[in-house]
């Protein structure tokens, strides 16, 4: 499998689809941050699909940093947990480690109240 094919199989699309649940769980005040995260992830997918892996990783890291602000709004411990989860997710992407990315995504979704659907 080529590097680009492997990259395109990462579950960014699933993460984008699950973002609406965050607005439902956290309330309408979270919508602007959720929208910003969605835009960043969509930009990352486009960069990935164009073969610009480095730019995609930067966009993902930025979107994940924005996502952690939602955890901060829920409390210090929740913010710290989200930072750890998003760091692990982003590190898995950087290593091209599909298993780590999927596990990280599942933990992020569980934390947000949107468990991964099989």
Residue 6 to residue 70: CA distance in whole angstroms:
30
pLDDT score, position 116: 52
| pLDDT tens, residue by residue, 14-27 | 788 888 887 887 78
Percent of the chain at pLDDT exceeding 70: 83
- 89, 98 contact by CB (below 8 A): no
Q: Is the dihedral of CA 61, 84, 110, 6 positive or negative?
A: positive
Assigned token pair, 76: 């210090």
Smallest CA-to-CA distance from 56 within 38, 44, 65, 43 is with 44
pLDDT digits (tens, 9 = 90+) for 69-115: 877 777 788 778 888 888 888 888 788 888 887 888 778 777 766 55
Residue-level pLDDT at 4: 42
């Amino acid at each position: 499998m080529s590097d680009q094919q492997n990259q395109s199989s990462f579950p960014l699309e699933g993460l984008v689809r699950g973002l609406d649940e965050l607005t439902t769980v956290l309330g309408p005040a979270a919508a602007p941050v959720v929208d910003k995260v969605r835009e960043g992830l969509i930009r990352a997918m486009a960069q990935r699909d164009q073969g610009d892996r480095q730019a995609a990783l930067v966009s993902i890291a930025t979107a994940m940093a924005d996502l952690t602000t939602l955890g901060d709004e829920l409390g210090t411990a929740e913010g710290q947990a989200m930072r750890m989860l998003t760091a692990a997710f982003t590190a898995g992407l950087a290593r091209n480690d599909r298993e780590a990315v999927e596990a990280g995504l599942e933990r992020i979704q569980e934390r947000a109240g949107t468990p991964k659907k099989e």
